[in-house]
Amino acid sequence: MEIFWYIVLMTILTIYIILDGYDFGAGIVHLFFAKKEKDKKAITSAIGPFWDANEVWLVAGGGILFFAFPTLYAVAFSGFYLPLIMILWLLIFRAIGLELRGQIKNSMWETIWDKAFGISSLLLALFFGVALGNVVRGVNLGMVTEGAATTEAPYFFLPLWNSTFSPTAEHLGVIDWFTLFLGVVSVIALLMHGANWIIFKTNSELNPKLRKVVFNLNFVLLALVIISLSVWHIIEPNPFHNFMAHPWMWIFPVISFIGIFGMFKVKTFKKDGLGFLFSSLFLFGGLTSTVASIFPKVLPSTNDVVPSLTIYNTAAGEYGLSVGVYWFVIAIVLVTIYMFVQYRVFKGKMDDVGYGDH
Structure confidence at residue 51 (pLDDT): 83
Q: Cα separation of 87 and 183, whole Å? A: 14
Give, in degrees to the nearest 5, the angle at Cα 39 between 101 and 269.
Answer: 135
Structure confidence at residue 332 (pLDDT): 87
Residue length, the chain? 358
Q: 276 and 196 in contact (C-beta within 8 Å)? A: yes
Q: 281 and 256 in contact (C-beta within 8 Å)? A: yes
Please name the residues in contact with 138: beta carbons below 8 A apart, sequence gap of 6 or more: 235, 299, 300, 301, 302, 308
Structure confidence at residue 355 (pLDDT): 64
Q: Cα separation of 101 and 99, whole Å? A: 6
Contacts of 316-319 with CB under 8 Å at 24 or more apart are 316/67, 316/68, 316/69, 316/70, 318/1
Give me the torsion for CA of 4, 157, 119, 166, rounded to 10°.
Answer: -100
Structure confidence at residue 356 (pLDDT): 59
Structure confidence at residue 16 (pLDDT): 92
Q: Cα separation of 226 and 77, whole Å? A: 31
Q: Cα separation of 190 and 201, whole Å? A: 16
Instruction: Examine residue 296 and say whether the peptide bond preceding it is cis (omega within 30 degrees of 0).
Output: yes
Please name the residues in contact with 224: beta carbons below 8 A apart, sequence gap of 6 or more: 181, 184, 185, 188
Q: Cα separation of 190 and 294, whole Å? A: 23
Write the DSSP assignment of 176-241 as a string of letters: -HHHHHHHHHHHHHHHHHHHHHHHHH---TTHHHHHHHHHHHHHHHHHHHHHHHHHHHHH-SSTTH
- Tell the burial category of 143 from Cβ atoms under 10 Å away from its Cβ (0-12, 13-18, 19+): buried
Q: 154 and 306 in contact (C-beta within 8 Å)? A: yes
In tens digits, the chain (358 residues) has pLDDT values of 888 989 999 999 999 999 999 999 999 999 998 888 888 888 888 888 888 888 888 888 888 998 899 999 999 888 888 888 999 999 998 888 888 877 778 788 878 888 999 999 999 999 999 999 999 888 888 888 877 777 777 888 888 888 888 888 878 888 999 999 999 999 999 999 999 999 998 888 888 999 999 999 999 999 999 998 888 888 877 888 888 888 898 999 999 999 999 999 988 888 888 999 999 999 999 999 999 988 888 988 888 888 889 999 888 888 888 888 888 888 889 888 988 888 888 888 876 766 656 5
Pick from 55, 7, 19: nearest CA to 280: 19
Write the DSSP assignment of 79-109 as a string of letters: HTHHHHHHHHHHHHHHHHHHHHGGGS--HHH
Q: Cα separation of 291 and 358, whole Å? A: 44
φ, ψ dihedrals at 347, nearest 5°: -75, 160
The beta strand positions in the chain, using DSSP E, are 144-145, 148-149, 297-299, 309-310
Q: 298 and 311 in contact (C-beta within 8 Å)? A: yes
